[in-house]
Amino acid sequence: MTEIKQSFDQLGYAILPAFYSAAQVDDVVQSIEQRKLQRPMNVTVDLLDTGERSLLGLLSPREIETLRMKINDLYLDMESVRELALSERIAAVLKDLLGHAPALCNSLYFEKGSQQPPHVDAIYMTPKTDDHLIAIWVALEDAHVDAGQLEYYPGSHKIEQLIFSNGNRHFVPEEMPRWHSYMDSEVERHGLKKTTFFARKGDVLIWHANLLHGGSAIADPTRTRKSLVFHYFSEADARSLDCKLREANSCGYWIDRPIQEVPEAAFNRAEFEKAYLAKYEDVANAVQAGQFASGTHHYEVCGRAEGRFV
């Protein structure tokens, strides 16, 4: 535990090799696959290439199979996912690093690399108290070099965080170019070097909420990089925010809350999809054959130009 804490305090991260067994990881991956096939209406997804938010149940099976997405908050009703996030072993480590019992506040499932530019979690999920947020990344398979690796800057958690015009460290969208410029200059000033996490199945990376990290470019789009990311507030912060806490074990909690809101446009899109496929049998057959991801995809590529409508 001393080595883990030293690495976390000095570098902003700690690696726990083969922390979870291959069998446990495979069980979780299989349970998520089953969840996807069910296409539930209580699981939100963010489509990474378009920035749209939707529900698994509003996407076609082909879209779920092919689109690059982030599946949110499976921890809310999947015990196997919660077990990875809050097993007694990992909760004890997190409690030691955080200085408080961890309260799981979200989970993110990726099948592809995020390709997200370098960022710090604390500006998006800003804790009420500084340093009362921590995160882990669980490798669900060996990460191939061409699949878009997780990258981070050791020691970057010590960079003094920029204060936005709102008077705190929670991001203001239009001020993000200034934030990126500031972080780039601080990385250069401190001589920090980017490191790649060559993860193996079952490995866990723990990082400080102010650690600068992101995802490298995907060189081979056919490759997956399955992973689960978990974020935790401190129990103290969660209670002060009146969160509904569920006890996982003697070391940790999870926050029971509604799923994230989905815009009306996602429901309108689903209605269009249903009507479009019902009207055009040839399109429905093409989608079924895998020629298009969805009716909406067909409409955007050629249906509009062909004068098709619903």
292 in the same domain as 194 = no
134 in the same domain as 275 = no
Return the number of other C-beta atoms located less than 10 Å from residue 222's C-beta: 8
Task: Decide if 292 is inside a domain.
Answer: yes
38 in the same domain as 110 = yes
* Residue 293 banded pLDDT, cuts 50, 70, 90: confident
Task: Decide if 309 is inside a domain.
Answer: no
**Res 112 pLDDT > 80:** yes
**Res 204 pLDDT > 80:** yes
Under a CB-based contact definition with an 8 Å cutoff, are residues 138 and 20 in contact? yes
H helix intervals, 112-255: 176-190, 235-240
Tens-digit pLDDT profile for residues 231-278: 999 999 999 999 999 999 999 999 999 999 999 999 998 899 889 999
Here the tokens at position 44 are: 């939100």
Rg over CA atoms, the chain: 21
66 in the same domain as 196 = yes
Task: Decide if 79 is inside a domain.
Answer: yes
294 in the same domain as 150 = no
Give the Cα separation of 302 and 309 in Å (integer): 12
284 in the same domain as 212 = no
Tens-digit pLDDT profile for residues 3-53: 999 999 999 999 999 999 999 999 999 999 999 999 999 999 999 988 999
Looking at the structure of the chain, the number of domains it has is: 2
Q: What is the mean pLDDT of residues 206-231?
A: 96
H helix intervals, 79-201: 79-86, 88-98, 176-190
Quote the pLDDT of residue 270.
87
* Domain encompassing residue 297: 265-303
Percent of the chain with pLDDT over 90: 89
C-alpha angle 82/230/119, rounded to 5°? 170
Which CATH number goes with the domain that contains 88? 2.60.120.620
DSSP assignment letter at 303:
I
296 in the same domain as 197 = no
* Residue 119 banded pLDDT, cuts 50, 70, 90: very high
pTM: 0.92
